[in-house]
Structure 1
Amino acid sequence: MRTMALIATFALTSTAAAAATCGNDASGFNSWKQQFAQEATAAGIGQRGLAALANTSYAQRTINADRNQISFRYSLDEFMRIRGADTIVAQGRRKIANNPTFYANLEARYGVPASVIVAIHGMETAFGNFMGDSNVLSAITTLAYDCRRSDFFTPHALAALQLVDQGSISANTIGAMHGELGHTQFLPANVIRYGVDGDGNGVVDLTNQTDALYSTANFLRQKGWQPGQGYQEGERNYAVIQQWNAAGVYQKAIAIMAARIAG
């Protein structure tokens, strides 16, 4: 209940208090952090999270990547080739074949086909082989500060600070360029909303494959996945795949690869 209350607080913070002033380069970042610390305090963030915020730095690589996302402008065929669709499909089939009980249990619990989860896993991190090389807190706070998409990333920045408070991540946690975490690249607020302790050890850790895949299936189910319904374009569950990533070419690729993995 406290988690849900904090999420609601995150959504209201910018309107309930004066929002920190965004910027378009590094020059105002330190001033923004001081203002944002007041927002974070109002949202219930504790001293551990506030100390982590104070130690963040402007992530120029993240800004460069955010303003130059050219892969989503490719045609579907180009995108599939560049992202290695054939390799993802082949490796995805092997993963399911090598651990059928795990994937059967996952599918039975959430009603999401294992092939869809595996396609996402392969697309996001090549099955965990590359989960990022960026400081999560610096990346996510830089995006919250940047005027381009401040409204979208501010709740995620607050959520990341909450995860620090909880001990789920640290000031030094490494993830993807936009602050995503783990095997399937969850943004911080989605870790809080949809994260599942899949292996039952009492910790939601998306660098753990079991937790990550259970969390991914939970995300899709909570977004409206209908068990037994199709997921290609024009079918009922395709709209749920669209909730995973906003890029049309990405959505199509996931659906196609999942169908190929399923055989």
Structure 2
Amino acid sequence: MKLLSKALAALLVTATALPAIAQECGADFATWKQNLANEARAAGVGEKGLAALGSATLDPKVLERDRAQGVFSQTFAQFSDRMISSYRLKNGAANLQKYAQYFAKGEQDYGVPGPVVAAFWALETDFGAVQGNFNSLNALITLAHDCRRPDLFRPQVVPLLTLIDRGVLPADVKGAWAGEIGQTQILPSDYLARGVDADGDGVVDLRNTPSDVILTTARKIESRGWKRGQPWIEEVRVPAEMAWEMTGRTNKLPLAEWTKMGVTNRDGSPLQDNGLKAGVVLPMGRKGPAFLAYDNYDVYLQWNQSATYTLTAAHLAARLAGQPAFGLGNPDAGLTGEAMKALQQKLADKGYDVGGIDGILGTNTREAIRQEQMRLKLPVDGWPTQELLANL
């Protein structure tokens, strides 16, 4: 089994460590691209990669997709119900069996269980069936030139040009609108630095070779801080009343402390202290589903910053590992659409950074809600309700 050459990995370090050369977003495109070409050449990209850059163009459809991510305005129950389909559960189980030796190798080498990898494989592309039809280089060029999030996408351009220059990927490689490539939608920097040639054919092929996909994905997850042998989430039951301000992903406590507060296993049995700390996550408030979130769950947020997506991915992994579907409980009606935007606007007017008035219950909005719930002496569970909106 071979990793991508050390030279490629070293090249990535060099490319990302070089001083920024005229990285101002929104500048004259021809001038901006020429400066990018100079940066790529200095990083060791040859004529093949530079020729691909010379042909790259801006794609307005990429910006349309970047501005329209309304799917994340759904609740956790809505999103997970749609994403954790019987098709994905069935095929996830089948692939875990079919490629058992590679999933086992991934856990042996990187400590990442097979169901965790399989869940991302399912959610990202339905096991390679839907990998995206955007020109990857044009997508990254567009997002790097755009001024919304250039810091996220600019560092991906030189690694992609390097992969093209070395013949690992074709110049017209297709993928997702945000520049991810392959069956688990890997960004070029991870492809370059962490690609694994699992079948030993001399090529890291993340578009067509499942063994390479599985091992590379496990290696990527491990690189984000995954802790071998530890859980990621566990569904629990919370009492009707407790110190809600103690809940939240980042407030990790020993399980013995949660037991004192009345938190139990899903079936009502006592929690078994495993020596680890976890936070209690309430994605739909104190009356909805509840999960213990361990350090490994934090790794999911480095894959995707949407709490709705990451909790869905973590729960799908738990399902593939044999756990049942979560219990919905009886959550209070949340805010959606214009009501959610109105709440965000009120929070922003009070000085909170909610990350934009977009109707999405993101991390910043949820934390602002918790702060206001505490001030108003409401249960601090981070869930937006009509009562909270009225109080504001």
TM-score normalized with structure 1 length: 0.91
Residue 57 of structure 1: aligned partner: 57
Residue 69 of structure 1: aligned partner: 69
Instruction: Choose which of 237, 249, 261 in structure 1 pairs with 2:308.
Output: 249
The one-letter code sitting in structure 2 at the alignment partner of 1:7 is L
> Identical aligned pairs, as a percentage?
38
Written as runs of structure 1 = structure 2, the 5 A alignment for 1:92-171 is 92-171=92-171
C-alpha displacement at 1:99, in angstroms? 4.0
Written as runs of structure 1 = structure 2, the 5 A alignment for 1:198-209 is 198-207=198-207, 208-209=209-210
C-alpha displacement at 1:46, in angstroms? 1.3
> Structure 1 residues 6 and 103, CA, compared in 2 at 3 Å: closer, same or farther?
closer
Distance of 2:320 and 2:12 partners within structure 1: 36
Q: Does structure 2 conserve the Cα–Cα contact (< 8 Å) formed by 1:136 and 1:180?
A: yes
Bigger strand share: 2
The one-letter code sitting in structure 1 at the alignment partner of 2:93 is R
The one-letter code sitting in structure 1 at the alignment partner of 2:217 is T
Distance of 1:5 and 1:108 partners within structure 2: 25
Instruction: Choose which of 22, 27, 31 in structure 1 pairs with 2:25.
Output: 22
More deviation in 1-10 or 85-94?
1-10
> Structure 1 residues 6 and 113, CA, compared in 2 at 3 Å: closer, same or farther?
same
Q: Deviations over 1:18-43 (max 9, x none)?
A: 3244218xxx4333212211222222
More deviation in 109-118 or 122-131?
109-118
Q: Which has the higher contact order (CA 8 A, sep 6+)?
A: 1
Residue 9 of structure 1: aligned partner: 14
The alignment partner of 2:94 has SS state of: helix
> Structure 1 residues 107 and 4, CA, compared in 2 at 3 Å: closer, same or farther?
closer
C-alpha displacement at 1:120, in angstroms? 0.5
Distance of 1:101 and 1:190 partners within structure 2: 23
The one-letter code sitting in structure 2 at the alignment partner of 1:9 is T
More deviation in 252-261 or 227-236?
227-236
Residue 237 of structure 1: aligned partner: 296
Residue 228 of structure 2: aligned partner: 227
The alignment partner of 1:227 has SS state of: coil
Let me know the Cα RMSD of the aligned residues.
1.8
Bigger helix share: 1
More deviation in 236-245 or 202-211?
236-245
Q: Deviations over 1:19-76 (max 9, x none)?
A: 244218xxx4333212211222222221111100010111111111111111222211
The one-letter code sitting in structure 2 at the alignment partner of 1:141 is I
Give the structure with higher Rg (CA).
2
C-alpha displacement at 1:254, in angstroms? 0.9
Q: How many residues align?
A: 258
Distance of 2:31 and 2:107 partners within structure 1: 47
C-alpha displacement at 1:157, in angstroms? 0.6
Moved over 4 A (4+): none
Residue 38 of structure 2: aligned partner: 38
The one-letter code sitting in structure 1 at the alignment partner of 2:134 is S
Unaligned stretches of 5+ in structure 2? 1-5, 234-291, 323-392
Unaligned stretches of 5+ in structure 1? none
Q: Does structure 1 conserve the Cα–Cα contact (< 8 Å) formed by 2:115 and 2:321?
A: yes
Distance of 1:59 and 1:14 partners within structure 2: 27
C-alpha displacement at 1:196, in angstroms? 0.7
